[in-house]
Structure 1
Amino acid sequence: MPREMKSHQDIHDYIVAIESDFPVDTWSVNGIHVWPYIRIKIYYTLIHLVEGTSNLKPYKKHQKKNAGFFKRLKTKFFELFYYLNSIQRQTCQQVMFATLSLYRVGYDGLFFHKFFDAMIKAHHLEGKTTIIEIQGIRANSYNQTGLIDGISLRNGHKILNRLTRWLPQYKTSSIECNLPLYDSFFERILEDSCIGTNLDLEKDSIVKWANKVKATSIVYKKLFEKRRTQRFVTISYYGFDDMAAALFAANSLGVETVDFQHGPQTNVHMAYSSWTRIPKNGFNTMPKVYWNWDQKSKEHLSSWWKLMDGSKIIGHPWLAMTQSENQFYKNCDFLYTLQLINESNFKYFFPEQILKLMRQDCFSWILRIHPRNGTGINLIQEFLQKNNVPQEHYSIENPSTIPLATSLKSCGMHITNYSGCLIEASILKKQTIIIDQTGYLFFKNYIDNELVYFLDKHKDNFSDRVIEIYTSRKTGKKKIKLEIYNPFTGL
């Protein structure tokens, strides 16, 4: 077993080895399957180690100063009322969504959900469905009355629990803990220096997490029952306790649970790959159906998730919505889509061969940063300036302000290390050059040397080969008509 992680493949092999050695598919606490939670924690700890992103500061909302007693009391009354009103509202909403805030972008002066709102708008579903905003509602969001504030919802539930916990029916029940060989697993984790000891995977911590999920699931169970929900669609199903709670509630009610593709679902993305030990009916804290952008993504999901119709192609609503818009935008030669950047990995994304290309006067660049990137644009500019890249040769693009389809239409060629934008470029038939071994590992099934190429960014002839491919590209515009899927299909 590897003690040092150097690649995504090492991470993949490490996790698969754990699944081979331990009965992870049987691990549950009070009926909550816990392995998906543990697997994702291990995966992202190792991802940060391999990619050098562990010192990226997590996004935090602005913390307000402590309010006075009466203001806090007013807030608690509001949250309690909000919760009671939400779960008691009897209406028919066959489809409900749940999301994180990062999938909202600026569109027509509103914060617009790239995937869900695109479907809602196209099929006039504003009054027929609801989006649960797990991280709270942003002001000036599209279809604001069709949103549920996840923060107020769970805070109201907690307040009600505190008020009623003395009642006999709310007394804590005994814990049913089924974790065979967990102690041996935990010992192995502690011994592996590549992971360290800060994962908080002690048995007591796992029990505490499962109890929290079970308690929170009551909120969503009542929500789904009152609204007669038949389909629950998440995006980024993993990483948030409320998502696990909502999925557990929906699965226990027989509501169809769906994960909507939000990025690359590659052979080494361990939320979407190589689940080798799965309970007969799947994990109850995971979706049972996966909606995919394209055929290759569907095929990959189907390689391990064998449920009939458990993986479907539904397309990319945001691309479909924005592909034909005549939004004015400057043309460029190269669109370079980036991953999470910090000061320690600038040279990874801008090695000498890339810098050499960027210094050439005959090429213009757009550098599209990652949606979750906290590094200031000025730091990127300072790095490029120190490396003699003229500022007029490039512009830095925030994905929350410019649709990807607009950028792809405006560029001559797309370049990336391993961004999922490659899939979107492929859907729009825009040529892409993968420049990193990790990207090759992720997307080797897309490489055909016509639409998608691979060039190692560290090779001496890299810049010459990029220019050769770029100058020989086909420049005729391809007519592509994408359809927007109706999320009520099949109900």
Structure 2
Amino acid sequence: MTRKEVLLLLAYLEKTFPVWDWRYGSIEIWPLIKRDIFFIFFNQKEKKQSPTESKSSRTLIRIYNICNSLLYFLKIKFRKKGKVATFYCGSAAHRVDFQSNFINRYFFPYIQNLKETEYIQYEYGPVLKNKNYKNEKSIVYASELYTIFNLFRRFKSQPNLNLFKWDEFHSCILERSGLDLNTYYKRLPVRLESLMVYADISSFLIKKYQPKEVIGLCYYNNSMFAMHYMANKMGIENLDVQHGGQGSLHSMYTFTNLPKGGSNMIPKTFWCWDQVSANHILSWLGSQNYHHVEVNGNPWIEFQLKKFSSQDDLSKQKIILYTLQEKELEEYILQAIKLTPKEFVWWIRLHPRMLDAQAIIESQLENIGCKDKVEISKATNYPLPVLLEKSYVHLSKFSGSIIEAVLVNTPNIIIDEVGLEIYKDYVDNQDASVVLTKNADDLLKSILEIEGNI
């Protein structure tokens, strides 16, 4: 099934079955189950088993991890730091190297001038040991607390799991898609207990620091599901900051039949970069009376433009910026590069998780004699907001950079059907044009038709 077909099926299930009544204790768990089902559709291959360790080795490692986690818990518990105004919640994926520090690009513009006693950075996900995390004293690492809180949960009773009409739900999804959820259903209690571990961590931290607000990124991982749940439960303002495209093809930013009182597992407030993004969220919030939307811009773009926009142009030629989301260039892109007039230069920005693609792409360019017509290193390492602002045009399949280009008034060309579906409103607003033919001549024609240099 295509991404769109999966989301249409999930929307049908939301309308047909009482999924918003599904609970684990008091947690309304449909958003978590919906997320899991969506990813199961696109990740059905069996994961390779890691090499097994001896039982004695595993026991020693477990004891070591418990001791480390206990010491970290005691360190946080008895830390003298008192109340704070804000929890800023994110992960290494939201951080960048900036002035020799590894900073959260969405939060740094706000916390750079604050005292470390005024806020907490709640860091979920892996901790990168080779990075210099700025303001280390303000950071609480969820991964360091997880082991001991997981042990604490062994002494607590499990909440009741209510999945009313699950069998009918499962039969429907099996009939319409062929997806068998029996294995998932058996593993669900374990997944939900992991959620409860993070809920206990969130409760502990909120009670200790008593923040007035919780501001997070990517609310739909277990640690942030739990943080937003606890903030909603305790009556604390909580926001999810937009971190990329969140249109109709994003399963966690598109719901139907939201209950009148909202859901305690999704953020109270959605912080959107622009009105188009906000309009999509508003389209499904409907008549409920709890969740709302704020258009607060993209803090990293605004910060970077203030800091760097006064610099000279990056190139004497007009920059065609391509934010790449795969490890090699398609044949028609290579042909377009070859045919591009000399007044232009291609800057190809690699995806942060695909930096090893540079050698592959350089080899492709060398094979067609066009290595001198493309810049990769600078395009990948230069601050994206400024790079977008100084580009003549931005090309992408479906990157969130399409919205960022709109925010700095740089024309977009969308070259993939998924991108068209996600960013259709921007196309309708003439903030982006579309070329789906995978033809070099058509792409170049669209580039050359753009009026004016940026």
Task: Give TM-score, length-normalised by structure 2.
Answer: 0.86
Give yes or no for contact 1:82–1:156 (8 Å, CA) kept in 2.
Answer: no
Amino acid at match of 1:250: A
CA distance in 1, matches of 2:199, 2:85: 19
Q: 300, 307, 313: which is aligned to 1:318?
A: 300
Q: Which of 5, 8, 11 is 1:16 aligned to?
A: 11
Counterpart of 1:201 in structure 2 is: 184
Q: How does 1:282-321 map to 2 (within 5 A)?
A: 282-306=262-286, 307=289, 310-321=292-303
Residues 413 and 435, structure 2, Cα contact 8 Å, conserved in 1: yes
1:181 counterpart = 2:165: yes
AA at the equivalent of 2:271: W
- TM-score, normalized by length of structure 1? 0.80
Q: 1:427 aligns with which of 407, 416, 439?
A: 407
User: Larger helix proportion, structure 1 or 2?
Assistant: 2
Cα offset, 1:285, TM superposition: 2.0
Q: Is the 8 A contact 1:447 1:453 kept in 2?
A: yes
Residues 70/356 of structure 1: CA separation in 2 closer, same or farther (3 Å cut): closer
From the superposition, tell whether residues 56 and 154 of structure 1 become closer, same or farther in structure 2 (CA, over 3 Å).
closer
Equivalent-residue separation in structure 2 for 1:227 and 1:250 (angstroms): 13
2: CA distance, partners of 1:335 / 1:221: 45
**Structure 2 residue matching 1:127: 3-state secondary structure:** helix
Match of 2:121 in 1: 131
Question: In angstroms, what is the RMSD of aligned CA positions?
Answer: 3.2
The one-letter code sitting in structure 2 at the alignment partner of 1:261 is Q
Confirm or deny that 1:32 pairs with 2:13: no
Match of 2:68 among 78, 89, 93: 78
Task: Within 5 Å, give how 1:252-263 maps onto structure 2.
Answer: 252-263=233-244
Distance in 2 between residues matched to 1:220 and 1:48, nearest whole Å: 29
Contact 1:126 1:146 in 2 (8 A): yes
Shift of 1:373: 3.1
Choose which of 210, 216, 223 in structure 1 pairs with 2:205: 223
Alignment check: 8 A CA contact 2:65 2:147 kept: no
Greater CA drift, 277-286 or 103-112: 277-286
- Equivalent-residue separation in structure 2 for 1:351 and 1:158 (angstroms): 50
**Structure-2 change in CA distance of 1:407 and 1:117 (3 Å):** same
Residue 192 of structure 2 is aligned with which of 210, 217, 231? 210
1:474 aligns with 2:452: yes
Go from structure 1 to structure 2 and tell me whether the alpha carbon gap of 1:412 and 1:147 turns closer, same or farther (over 3 Å shift): same
Whether contact under 8 Å (1:32, 1:210) holds in the other structure is no
The structural deviation recorded for 1:398 is 8.1
In structure 2, which of residues 86, 98, 123 is the aligned counterpart of residue 107 of structure 1? 98
Q: What's the % identity of the aligned pairs?
A: 25
C-alpha deviation, 1:43, in angstroms: 2.2
1:357 corresponds, among 333, 336, 340, to 336
Aligned-residue offset at 1:18: 1.4
Counterpart CA distance in 1 for 2:67 and 2:364 is 50
Q: Does the 8 Å CA contact 1:370/1:399 hold for their aligned counterparts?
A: no
Question: Offset of 1:460 from its aligned partner?
Answer: 7.1
Q: Once structures 1 and 2 are overlaid, which stretch shifts more, 261-270 or 11-20? A: 11-20
Q: Tell me, yes or no, if structure 1 residue 154 matches structure 2 residue 138.
A: no
Distance 2:46 2:374 in 1: 27
Q: Report what 1:484 is aligned to.
A: none
CA distance in 2, matches of 1:171, 1:15: 34
- Give the superposition deviation at 1:380: 3.0
Tell me, yes or no, if the aligned pair for 1:104 and 1:114 is still in contact at 8 Å.
Answer: yes
Secondary structure of 1:447 counterpart:
helix
SS in 2 for 1:418: coil
Within 2, Cα distance between the matches of 1:40 and 1:334? 35
Distance 1:411 1:374, change over 3 A: closer
- The range that moved more, 262-271 or 354-363, is 354-363
Would the aligned equivalents of 2:347 and 2:379 in 1 still touch at CA under 8 Å? no
Change (3 A) 1:224 1:100: same
> Match for 2:198: what amino acid?
T
Q: Distance in 1 between matches of 2:263 and 2:183?
A: 21
Do 1:106 and 1:400's aligned partners in 2 also have CA atoms closer than 8 Å?
A: no
Report the Cα distance in structure 2 between the residues aligned to 1:269 and 1:91, rounded to whole angstroms.
38
Corresponding residue for residue 482 of structure 1: none
Cα–Cα, structure 1 residues 69 and 253, in superposed 2: closer, same or farther, change >3 Å?
A: same
Contact 2:253 2:281 in 1 (8 A): yes
> CA separation of 1:397/1:279 partners in 2, compared to 1, >3 Å: closer, same or farther?
farther
The match for 2:53 is none
Q: CA deviation at 1:266?
A: 0.9
For 1:271-420, list aligned pairs within 5 A.
271-273=252-254, 275-306=255-286, 307=289, 310-324=292-306, 325=308, 326=310, 330-331=314-315, 332-339=318-325, 341-342=326-327, 346=328, 350-352=330-332, 354-360=333-339, 362=342, 363-373=344-354, 376-386=357-367, 388=368, 390-397=370-377, 401-420=381-400
- Shift of residue 434 of structure 1? 1.6
The structure showing larger relative contact order (alpha-carbon pairs under 8 Å, at least 6 residues apart) is 1
Structure 1 residues not aligned, in runs of 5+:
61-65, 478-491
Q: Using the alignment, how far apart are the partners of 2:10 and 2:105 within structure 1? A: 32
- Per-residue CA distance 1:354-404 (angstroms, 9 max, x = gap): 222111362321111223336532233334445x26222212258873211
Contact 1:96 1:131 in 2 (8 A): yes
SS in 2 for 1:258: strand
Residue identity opposite 1:106 in structure 2:
D
Which SS does the other structure have where 1:259 is aligned? strand
- Counterpart Cα distance in 2 of 1:424 and 1:151: 31
One-letter amino acid of the counterpart of residue 132, structure 2: N
Distance 1:110 1:328 in 2: 25
User: How far apart in 2 are the matches of 1:24 and 1:368?
Assistant: 41
